Chains A and B, each alone.
Chain A
């Protein structure tokens, strides 16, 4: 049993790490596009030929915002990077601590499971309606589906945390 859990843990770890690199590419693309857009705008204003603002630059940068956060969300959880108030729980006996942490990871799991389900449905409705961005006509739905997809590794990571806390509580 514990061997399977460790294998799952390793899988969640490397899966979320990979997704984190996708977020990293999104971040660099965001920086590159914004800089290119600044040069395009300023040089075009100065009358330099061939330079112009990136068409729909702002829209693309905004969509990259979805990539940067959602693809990093699971790895941030693996690193325990989501801010928590720990000073109250830390003062409780270890067994009570484990019960409480199992409960909070269960609640967190429920949140991301709901988000996955609702984002998937929302994505389908946007796809059916054909909703696209104003200037570049970029469809919205792939980004909403990306949110749903990125909920999978964080749900797995949270379920693992919950399981480990339950095990700790039972074993004492």
Chain B
């Protein structure tokens, strides 16, 4: 059997192990080790397992992951999600659909401190859903908008997916972060437009809330200001080259800690909760990344990425058409696979193709994140939808998936806009001072 055939069989076996429910990180590590043993030598494969585990877990570049996850957890434990929502409420609250708009704006704000879609959805869902219920919002709109807007968590920096994409493709994490800012604002705007259109078509979906006074609006701004300070410190520091990504994450976590203490919101109990939460998410992410690295080594000796990029490069199709097919494949894959597993598994194989086609790696990173955002809200494996289901237990899953659909359309529009105007993603990174 040729190495390429063994590689393809390996991918097939991996998909089966995923589908029967083996944890995705474990599956990639085991299948990768077995494949390497088969293609090179049993001794080499087994020692690769231990070496890859140690070298990956002791890589300084990966310490950025726990730091940014810690920042998001502390921001939540310090009550920042609640204050951001309150700020959004004072601005949009009295409008029809205003609470949904406030939720989207607050998700965008929380995304500026948190790098994960499900953490953003969970943090805002706990705050926003009871409020929308109180004002008789339609369940489908209320849950759909939090699930979708929660996905902004990985587009607006910091972002776990940008970090992992950056490490796997050796692109600057700082530039990737900055590249996500404008598309993030664009997408949040598109989500708000979706709410406006939905409410125009059916005014019963979302009644207006109570008007707020100027004084209340001013008080609400405090929640925005602390977010802007933290965002400015972390992303500004990266942009200006003050911090390495790990240092930026640590500065963010430390800043969130200080804000929580200064506001007397961070208790010992909520701090311990943030530590435990960070450990669980970090461990889950690191095991997936390590598994993907081992599997990537197997793919490399099977020569699959090379063969695939040569084949695609020779296709008589314009690059944009091939990119369209890649996006479609990610969209379908995202329906069935966990986003992180999909990215870590496919980026080593697809990335060489993207380079051969002449696309900007930073732009492609943004596209990958947008497609991943669709993956976290599409059935059957839409993680954000399950997170929201966990918060709103009385709402059936089908209702949430139905509510997500119009926002999915907004995501598709965003991908289309970025394909036509790649500058939206590449303009800011071009200004970075390094």
Contact = CB atoms under 8 A, between A and B. Distances in A.
Given A65-B62, A115-B53, 20 more contacts: A20-B276, A20-B279, A31-B250, A38-B243, A65-B59, A69-B283, A73-B287, A76-B284, A81-B284, A82-B25, A83-B340, A84-B21, A85-B24, A101-B21, A104-B22, A108-B22, A108-B26, A110-B30, A119-B53, A147-B50
Contacts of A37: 247
B57 interface: yes
A34 interface: yes
A31 B253 contact: yes
A68 B57 CA distance: 9
The dominant DSSP class at the A interface is helix
Interface stretch (B12-20, B125-133, B304-312, B409-417): B12-20
A143 B254 CA distance: 27
Interface string A104-132: 10011011001100110110000000000
B226 interface: no
Nearest to A151: B53
Contacts of B278: 27
Interface string B334-351: 001110110000000000
Nearest to A82: B23
Contacts of B58: 62-63, 65-66, 140, 143
Given A20-B276, A76-B279, A118-B50, A35 B254 contact: yes
B280 A76 contact: yes
Nearest to B246: A34
A168 B192 CA distance: 49
A119 B54 contact: yes
Given A35-B251, A62-B60, A122-B47, A23 B279 contact: yes
Contact of A147 (B53, B242, B250, B282): B53
B238 interface: no
Interface of B: 17-27, 29-30, 33, 46-47, 49-51, 53-54, 57-60, 62-63, 66-67, 70, 242-243, 246-247, 250-251, 253-254, 275-276, 278-284, 286-288, 336-338, 340-341, 380-381
A65 B63 CA distance: 6
11 contacts: A38-B243, A62-B59, A72-B279, A82-B25, A84-B24, A88-B19, A108-B26, A111-B30, A114-B49, A140-B58, A144-B50
B283 A73 contact: yes
A51 to B, nearest CB: 16
A86 B21 contact: yes
Contacts of A144: 50, 54
Contacts of A100: 20-21
Centre residue among A27, A59, A89, A104 by max chain B CB count within 10 A: A27
Contacts of B57: 65-66, 69-70, 147
